[in-house]
Amino acid sequence: MGETVKIETGRQTAEDVKARREADEPHSPLVRFGADKPLRLDAGVELRGLQVAYQTYGEPNADRSNAILVCHALTGDQHVANVNPVTGKPGWWETMVGPGKPIDTERFFVICANVLGGCMGTTGPSSTNPATGRAYGLEMPVVTIRDMVNAQAMLLDHLGIERLFCVAGGSMGGMQVLQWAASYPERVFCALPIATAARHSAQNIAFGEVGRQAVMADPDWRGGDYLNQGVAPHRGLSVARMAAHITYMSDQALHRKFGRRLQNRVLPTFGFDADFQVESYLRHQGESFVQRFDANSYLYVTRAMDYFDLAADYDGVLANAFRSSKTRFCVVSFTSDWLFTTQDSRAIVHALNASGASVSYAEIESDKGHDAFLLEEPELFDISRGFLDSAARAAGLPPARTR
């Protein structure tokens, strides 16, 4: 990484155009639902012309009982275990998903869909509005985690998957896991929510608002109409990403990786360049992010997380969301995660216990912060593999191949 990151501003770049194409014509399977199959949103409106982009790995068994739905986090996408067509980088959860991995694609039929409101092929603010022929922008209705899950349920109906063996995901993906278990308990045999919470905290809402204000303060945001005006709010989105990325790491991880070390220099410049390595790192994170993610999608998806409060839909009692559920749960948290704390996970576990659900809980000792669920964490792999193996035996699925 160099000393200074130059973020293009103003005109849309070739990378912007490439990413924009993914919104309508993604490099992945795509289902387009006709106007006769609208998605009813929590906002009280119907979304017609819904499309859902997804990826699959492995093969379904004869009765399609081996399907696992992986739900992605805020800035993830459907490319969970294959090369991303925009960035050229490996899938975002290849540590967990693949042949012989805990979510074994030689054993399970794995599905991952881009979330509603995203920018990689599922209907979102960068998609073309069929009514106008222009990008939705802020004409896209605001969506919720439950809307995302309902769109995924429509996809599974299309694929002929009546019941999922498992739903798994971390962070916002974990929110979707919990919503699946509450909204469609009869369709979920087991659930693996990782590093998540049953509601967004006031602190997390505050962090989300800082990011959204950074985007909207960029003059090139143009009231959300930047795509139709040929510009891009790169600077605002980059700052939003920089601020958010700090919350994904722990103080220990930042200290271990960067400390107070200077970036390619012996003495400070006594100016405002990136003197410290951690500054250079954050600028790099911001620059790379704007090349693959849509600014309006960032607004919509962070807002969906803010609105998530599972207990609110059940008279304020979280246990009621899982009442009489036959789903098996394994809840996982990390000790250094201050974005979705172990207390958040314990609250989920307490509610599941109160509802009579079958639940196990693991608190993993790690200094990697929230992003630990995306990194090399052998204990997470072992716990996940053990949980899925046990659930598979209970579901009557064949054992994993010996290696």
Indicate the annotated binding residues for substrate. Answer: 241, 371
> For residues 339 and 248, is the Cβ–Cβ distance under 8 A?
yes
Q: In angstroms, how far apart are the furthest CA atoms of the chain?
A: 67
CA distance 296 to 236: 11
Residues annotated in a binding site: 241, 371
Q: Which of 218, 175, 169, 168 is nearest to 304 (CA)?
A: 175
Q: Quick one: how far is CA 238 from the chain centroid? A: 18
Residues 130/132/134/136 CA torsion (nearest 10 deg)? -70
CA distance 91 to 49: 28
Find all residues with CB under 8 Å of 93, minimum gap 6, and list them: 70, 76, 80, 81, 374
Instruction: Give the DSSP letter of residue 384.
Output: H
Instruction: Please give the positions annotated as active site.
Output: 171, 337, 370
> For residues 53 and 113, is the Cβ–Cβ distance under 8 A?
yes
DSSP string for residues in 85-132: TTT-PPPTTTTTEETTSSEETTTSEEEEEPPTT-SSSSS-TTSB-TTT
Helix locations, 194-333, DSSP H: 202-217, 234-248, 251-257, 277-290, 295-307
> For residues 240 and 214, is the Cβ–Cβ distance under 8 A?
yes
Q: Which of 56, 41, 34, 48 is nearest to 113 (CA)?
A: 56
**Secondary structure (3-state) at 41:** coil
